[in-house]
Amino acid sequence: MSLSHAQVTHFKNHGYTAVPDFFTPCEVRAMQAEVERFKREGLVRNVATEGDGKTPSTTKVNLQLIPLYDKSDLIRALPFDEKVTGAVSQLIGTPFILHLDQMFLKPAGHGIGTDWHQDNAYFKIDDPLKGTAMWVAVHDATIENGTIHVVHDSFKEEYPHDRDPYSDHHIHCQVPEERAVPIELKAGGVAFFCYGTAHSTKANTTDCERAGLAFHFLHTACVERANLIAARRGQPFLVGPEATGGKAEYGVRVAGTWEREIERVLEGGTN
Ligand SMILES: O=C(O)CCC(=O)C(=O)O
């Protein structure tokens, strides 16, 4: 079992749980190397706008890259790793798919946060505990550099959302700020929060950049009903009778390649 009883209970009762040291220092170094490559190859996009939801900002930066599975064999392998599938099985039950994979990168000094929202405002599943995000701290994530924040017990409530004027596609909401909890994590730590949990990140006011990888997992009982943002994507079944280790969706077996991918990336291999 990857997660303790206390972590699973906290997720089910309050909508989130933090897991320090989920990934090893080697795994972190490989993820950091891929983030560097995404930057070097110009793959990341600034989604920040000037306050009208449209005009690209010249001063604010919120770099996003989505999806990741088609750009990195390392990141494609990550959600198939047994510690990930084991933890997600404990939290949302089985079977489940990988719904989304993406990266948010906040440059030093002028990186802005992603405003408060509930993922279920996008996806509208019946039971908000049947989907979870796994937010991975690729670098140490602190209050000063704008780590992920969640609102305690917010999955029990639905907040009205509208377009975030400081993003070219996100939505946002007002939350009871007095229940907001910052989750500080060393690199390699993760936060799981269910689709109903309101969350945000804040500005990076430090002189070091900070990246987070966000994977979303969805129980198959909700797949038909979910408002999937890109139905054509062929999100892989990770656990359950339809799981093929990625072969059906990606044409190659991906399950079991995570450790080999770490070595390949750390030896300087590129996709
Ligand atoms: O890292 C961020 O800025 C936002 C993350 C997020 O909204 C998510 O993981 O769903």
CATH fold for the domain made of 5-266: Jelly Rolls (2.60.120)
pLDDT for res 183: 98
Distance in angstroms (rounded) separating the CA atoms of residues 136 and 28? 10
Q: Which two tokens stand for residue 241?
A: 């009778």
Identify the pLDDT of residue 270.
76
**pLDDT at position 225, please?**
59
Q: For the segment 153-194, what is each residue's pLDDT rounded down to a tens digit? A: 999 999 999 999 999 999 999 999 999 999 999 999 999 999
Q: pTM of the predicted model, to two decimals?
A: 0.96
The residue contributing the CA closest to ligand 1 atom 4 is 114
- Residue 163 confidence (pLDDT): 97
Residues (pLDDT < 70) of the chain are 1, 225-233
* Torsional sign, CA 179, 197, 175, 55: positive
- Say which residues have a Cβ less than 8 Å from residue 85's Cβ, sequence separation at least 6: 79, 238, 239
* Binding-site residues, ligand 1, Cβ < 6 A: 104, 114, 119, 133, 135, 199, 201, 212, 214
Atom 3, ligand 1: which residue's CA is nearest?
114
Tokens 């950049």 -> residue: 209
User: What local confidence, expressed as pLDDT, does residue 1 receive?
Assistant: 57
Residue 232: predicted pLDDT: 47
